[in-house]
Structure 1
């Protein structure tokens, strides 16, 4: 059956009572339906992955049966991105794939592309529901209502909303429902309304060995089920108050807001009991974490509380903006539970370009952070993002970027050629750089990255290190060290239950791809 639901932006607000009523409806219907199947696919950053994991959790709890996105399913959910036109295109491709695979399936589109341009998304062939970010927390209930509409033959208007269209109530004031304790929040707690995350632009040097990525969701990983008990992406902050001139994110995510420390601790405790070995603290502007809008409390307070009140074996911090980073936070990395990995976007080594980007730090500040982190935390992996070919970038500006990257020797550099995003100030700037120049500059940075990445991994060869096993691929078990070295572990003994979600000791022997070949040592 083909649905065609128009997406409008009207007032939508969910109270705690309404949420509980929806949950009761879901649970009641789960007893009567024979478990329709669903599949979720994701484009975007770690925050988006966290949202899709939460969607999967809630769909499973509601009685739906999960399938791989490449399999036939009754319901397809495409969690989209929109930072670049490439993100839009990839989103459309996944939507088309789902429609071709099962034309009669219920096709649900959510995420940033759905938020930014709901009319265009709703016009795509096969699309039945477009769920805006602002009400994404009601996605499962909306799907149930649509199924009821199909079964009863009654026409029901299901109104959704998006932050990018007009509304009589500001999006920042809409609240998430309070979900049962055994259900993962799609957003956060009732003080943090949900705005879906952005997709990062595609780097020129994606990961090779495994589908684990820092920012970019690969199509392979996007098509896998989200049943991992290894790590969980824990969204603690959403939205952004910055206005970097190349970024569309603030326009589709709304203002910065944070989850309470108590809610995060409670959720991490539950995940630890469920068998997760690692949490990744994520957010659109994670360094702007201030629970309950209390500027006196910050990310450092959250981490300290998690170390004190939870027993999760590993705590990893995702991307942090340099202007937010406080050097005193590094003292907490003395605890071995803190993963020795920081992702600090540099973007440019030229202060003039950083100003054109509206970044809120300079190259000296960035240099101090990286060097101090490496000095205080031995073995610390620093990864970064670099944009080359930004409008107005001269040869001298690029050389400053190259020299700073050469000096700081990043463990991983994501190199991006500037791509204008319609609707951003940078797309309208003069002095756009020719593609041939962007390509040449990008290649120099890629060559430097290869050298530094190899040197970083080589220093650990011969050592025995803990590896958190993630998956079995091509006949080998693969996992990550705490400082983000990807390890292919050989000679693991037979294990009836497998080795996934287990921390093992591995001796690092040689480099392979963008990772390391190791052998079981314990």
Structure 2
């Protein structure tokens, strides 16, 4: 009987990429791969530690598995494993706590465990780019890791501590990875990393890497994962018009107050951010720009907060992830005074969410009467759902084929589930 390995992934797309690569490797070794801990011989929790809430969610997943009878091998990995390694080892003495640098060697650790060749997990050679291309994943699109780590050291962020300094993968390795996953049958690839706009390898920057990718003589659609609003060059904006690159960027803002951005030690101004948005909308007036907003950063005044509210309305964001500031030890912001009360953070986040939802609804209504090329991800007996090129969810009321592109005429917006989703008819 096949051994079963289960996964639970929290946090960013980079974690998702690494889980997919591990899952594919286990499938190749003959394991049955599932997305929960039930009846598994191995359960791997790929954690996040970006906020206190992320830590709580990660601990909940581990505790839930143990409280519901998981008796097999338990592996805790990801950024929380780097940030709280000693605490986790003390709290879960029977678990293996594997840091990000050794994460790629988890299949070796598991095989050694079952072969009774137990040696400490940190003796395995891992490496942040030591993941084989994933042939079988939990997602329709394939993620391609181009970079890891960060050198920005924003005052609120723990990521440089748990992911390390910025490193970039070679161009040849990235192109070979894309070639392999397209051969596996993936129609869409997503380039991801911790701070991908700072990609730099052997004199090749991010824009030049994009040029190498779109020049590949292969049929696929390219998405760019979450990206920092650095000062992009002209080639970058030119590439945003390329037919292979989808018109969507998750461009992290965090705050529209110049004084708050300065205290956050962000590498841009709001004035620069607005110019970037304007250039992207020159490329395509419906270019989908989504973002992150932090509310309640130490010293954020009501006037600072109102600037973020105004920015959401003015910049026509397609979606906004809202975070209440979470104090992280070992960061500069943890030592700042003038903390915002928790109740006030909650009030501000609710205002942001309300305004953002109104924006999302208005933005998505602009697609009614237009065509979208949709990659189907979910199917039932009655309907299919996927994402169009603008990374907006689209539903079609008939069963279609998964991992296939369809041209859909958008007819209306469905808001029955609280989330506005485009609904359309198949163009035959």
Once the two structures are superposed, the pairs formed by residues 237-386 of structure 1 within 5 Å of their partners are 237-292=147-202, 294=203, 297-386=204-293
Paired residue for 1:190? Answer: none
Rounded Cα–Cα distance in structure 1 between residues aligned with 2:35 and 2:311: 43
Rounded Cα–Cα distance in structure 1 between residues aligned with 2:398 and 2:213: 35
Contact 2:77 2:103 in 1 (8 A): yes
Structure 1: which 5+ runs fail to align? 1-33, 163-170, 187-224, 493-497
Contact 2:85 2:97 in 1 (8 A): yes
Shift of 1:516: 1.0
1:397 aligns with 2:304: yes
Cα 1:436–1:62 shift into 2, 3 Å: same
Cα 1:403–1:103 shift into 2, 3 Å: closer
Rounded Cα–Cα distance in structure 2 between residues aligned with 1:139 and 1:332: 37
Paired residue for 2:43? Answer: 76
Rounded Cα–Cα distance in structure 2 between residues aligned with 1:312 and 1:271: 11
What secondary structure sits across from 1:58 in the alignment?
helix
Structure 1 vs Structure 2 CA RMSD: 2.2
Contact 1:238 1:284 in 2 (8 A): yes
Paired residue for 1:197? Answer: none
Shift of 1:70: 4.8
Once the two structures are superposed, the pairs formed by residues 414-493 of structure 1 within 5 Å of their partners are 414-472=321-379, 475-492=382-399
1:501 aligns with 2:408: no
Shift of 1:474: 8.4
Shift of 1:161: 7.1
Rounded Cα–Cα distance in structure 2 between residues aligned with 1:176 and 1:427: 28
| Stretch moving more, 132-141 or 354-363 | 132-141
What secondary structure sits across from 2:111 in the alignment?
helix
Shift of 1:127: 3.8
Contact 2:128 2:148 in 1 (8 A): no
Query: Aligned match of 2:122 in 160, 166, 172?
Result: 160
Contact 1:279 1:312 in 2 (8 A): no
Rounded Cα–Cα distance in structure 1 between residues aligned with 2:422 and 2:412: 6
Shift of 1:241: 0.5
Structure 2: which 5+ runs fail to align? none
Rounded Cα–Cα distance in structure 1 between residues aligned with 2:169 and 2:38: 35
Cα 1:341–1:178 shift into 2, 3 Å: closer
Q: Deviations over 1:485-506 (max 9, x none)?
A: 10111134xxxxx511011111
1:235 aligns with 2:145: yes
Q: State TM-score, norm by structure 1.
A: 0.77
Contact 1:99 1:107 in 2 (8 A): no
Query: Aligned match of 1:516 in 409, 422, 425?
Result: 422
Between the two proteins, the alignment pairs up a number of residues equal to 424
